[in-house]
């Protein structure tokens, strides 16, 4: 009985132990299963996080790359636009001067300035050296009436132009002119007019060119921005080799003069503001140069005023030792902004002294045209000079009577040295043109032989002497100081 109980107890214990082991095994299996599940979940989460991170990173890189590309494209477009603007604002320039281009009222340029420029070589404009032209929402435009080759007439018998790669000749009978003017736009390349000859050959004009039918010929009008116009005026009026401050003073004078003519509508009957000759300012006789274009752009918009009003900013080539006022043109009282000043800065210039002998028969022909008769020339007398020494009244005595020639221009034209040899201060000689070099002279009458004239200066003598301005600039005077020396109580302001 004890033995039976013993074995029975052992069986119970074994059963309990087996049951406990079974439970333990199940628990272990459950833990392993849970561990695997957690590991798979963790792996999936990790994988998801990696994929999400990778996707975000890829998207970020793509977005950054896209943004960078757009910024690059924007910057490239901006740079290209800036380069295009600089290129459009830039023009080719070179060096030379026309002797006939110095006097903006009535005269030509000094021979010495002309020779210096004729011998100079053209150079391409450096866009990096020339400041960009100042922009304006309403940039003023000027209309220029273009004269024929010798600056003798406004009407052209025919006009040949090269525009857009095509060459066309127009006459008053051209079909294209029946319904009105022909308007040409050459773009940046400009419009070449091969039927006109200037100092550097056939001129090329910016802006537009209008061809109008006249009574007996064709009229040409070039319309372009004022500042672009000035870039072709300054080198035609002053050698580009001159000092920077002198070129800047010239640019301000030329701009002021142009604005004054535009406001006063001097050539309104032709639909223009100015012509391209010494009657106003010489334009496009010499193509734009690097130095002169820089001077125009550095002074963009600057004009000379007195009490807020534009002045007549006259200039001329060379003085005879002093400048004059507008009294030499018959003004009863000098303009408030003009003054006669001693001028020795240009005393070494060849044109500061000169002499010429006019044939008696030439002067006699002028005298007979003046009198309207055929009486022989008897004598010439200087009746009046202004305070600076310019002759303002000349008496012409003929067998038909005595007649007076008044004002500087008319006197210089009456004593025209055309075809005669003029000897300058340095001994150099040149052939005279339509006008006597200046009205600053004395003379000796040699009856039957000729009129010997000893004079000084080149041009009308009013306002700024260009050669003196250059010497002043060489000596360190600024543009403002140069203008203040030649004009009275003026201010440099900006014309909008």
13-49 tens-digit pLDDT: 555 566 666 666 665 555 544 544 444 444 444 344 4
Q: What is the pLDDT of residue 139?
A: 83
Confidence of residue 83 (pLDDT cuts 50, 70, 90): very low
pLDDT higher than 70, residue 470: yes
252, 313 Cβ separation under 8 angstroms: yes
CA 49 – CA 411 distance, rounded (Å): 101
Q: What does the pLDDT average to over 187-195?
A: 96
Q: Is 205 left (phi over 0), alpha (psi -120 to 50) or beta?
A: beta
Q: Which tokens belong to 272?
A: 């223009």
Cβ neighbours of residue 47 closer than 8 Å, sequence gap 6 or more: none
Among candidates 302, 299, 322, 325, which has minimal Cα distance to 314?
Answer: 325
Q: What is the pLDDT of residue 332?
A: 87
Q: What does the pLDDT average to over 472-496?
A: 96
Q: What does the buried/exposed string (b/e) look like for 70-80 if buried means 16 or more CB atoms within 10 Å of the residue's CB?
A: eeeeeeeeeee
Q: What is the pLDDT of residue 362?
A: 97
Percent of the chain scoring above 90 in pLDDT: 69
Give the sheet arrangement for strand 491-494, strand by strand: 309-310, 302-306, 491-494
pLDDT higher than 90, residue 190: yes
111-157 tens-digit pLDDT: 343 334 434 333 333 333 444 444 444 689 999 999 999 999 999 99
Q: What does the pLDDT average to over 389-401?
A: 97
Percent of the chain scoring above 70 in pLDDT: 72
284-303 tens-digit pLDDT: 999 999 999 999 999 999 99
The answer to whether the pTM exceeds 0.85 is no
Rounded mean pLDDT of the chain? Answer: 82
CA angle (145 as vertex; 142, 150 as ends), nearest 5: 140
pLDDT higher than 60, residue 397: yes
Helix extents (H) in 372-452 = 408-414
Q: What does the pLDDT average to over 472-478?
A: 98
Among candidates 427, 69, 463, 22, which has minimal Cα distance to 250?
Answer: 463
Q: What does the pLDDT average to over 319-346?
A: 94
């Amino acid at each position: 009985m004890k033995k039976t109980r013993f074995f029975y107890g052992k069986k119970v214990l074994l059963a309990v132990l087996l049951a406990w082991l079974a439970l333990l095994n199940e628990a272990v299996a459950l833990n392993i299963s849970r561990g695997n599940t957690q590991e798979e979940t963790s792996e999936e989460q990790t994988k998801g996080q990696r994929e999400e991170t990778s996707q975000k990173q890829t998207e970020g890189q793509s977005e950054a790359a896209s943004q960078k590309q757009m910024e690059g494209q924007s910057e490239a477009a901006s740079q290209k636009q800036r380069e295009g603007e600089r290129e459009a604002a830039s023009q080719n320039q070179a060096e030379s001067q026309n002797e006939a281009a110095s006097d903006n009222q009535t005269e030509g340029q000094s021979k010495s300035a002309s020779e210096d420029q004729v011998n100079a070589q053209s150079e391409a404009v450096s866009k990096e050296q020339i400041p960009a032209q100042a922009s304006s929402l309403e940039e003023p435009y000027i209309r220029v009436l273009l004269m024929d080759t010798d600056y003798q007439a406004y009407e052209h018998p025919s006009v040949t132009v090269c525009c857009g790669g095509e060459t066309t000749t127009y006459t008053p009978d051209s079909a294209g002119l029946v319904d009105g003017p022909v308007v040409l736009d050459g773009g940046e390349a400009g419009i070449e007019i091969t039927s006109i000859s200037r100092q550097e050959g056939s001129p090329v004009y910016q802006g537009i060119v209008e061809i109008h039918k006249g009574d007996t010929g064709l009229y040409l009008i070039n319309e372009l921005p004022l500042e672009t116009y000035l870039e072709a005026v300054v080198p035609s009026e002053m050698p580009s080799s001159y000092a920077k401050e002198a070129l800047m003073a010239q640019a301000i004078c030329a701009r002021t003069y142009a604005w004054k003519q535009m406001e006063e509508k001097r050539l309104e009957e032709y639909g223009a503001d100015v012509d391209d000759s010494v009657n106003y300012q010489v334009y496009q006789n010499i193509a734009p140069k690097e130095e002169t274009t820089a001077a125009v752009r550095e002074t963009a918009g600057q004009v000379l005023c007195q009490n807020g009003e534009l002045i007549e900013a006259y200039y001329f080539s060379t003085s005879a030792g002093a400048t004059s006022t507008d009294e030499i043109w018959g003004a009863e009282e000098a303009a408030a902004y003009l003054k006669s000043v001693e001028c020795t800065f240009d005393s070494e210039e060849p044109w500061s002294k000169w002499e010429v002998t006019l044939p008696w028969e030439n002067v006699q022909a002028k005298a007979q045209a003046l009198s309207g008769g055929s009486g022989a020339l008897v004598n010439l007398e200087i009746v009046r000079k202004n305070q600076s020494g310019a002759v303002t009244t000349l008496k012409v005595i003929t067998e038909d009577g005595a007649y007076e020639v008044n004002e500087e221009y008319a006197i210089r034209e009456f004593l025209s040295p055309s075809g005669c040899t003029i000897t300058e201060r340095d001994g150099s000689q040149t052939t005279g043109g339509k006008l006597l070099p200046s009205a600053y002279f004395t003379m000796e009458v040699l009856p039957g032989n000729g009129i010997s004239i000893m004079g000084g200066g080149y041009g009308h003598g009013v306002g700024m002497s260009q050669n003196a301005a250059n010497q002043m600039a060489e000596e360190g005077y600024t543009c403002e100081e140069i203008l203040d020396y030649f004009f009275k109580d003026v201010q440099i302001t900006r014309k909008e």
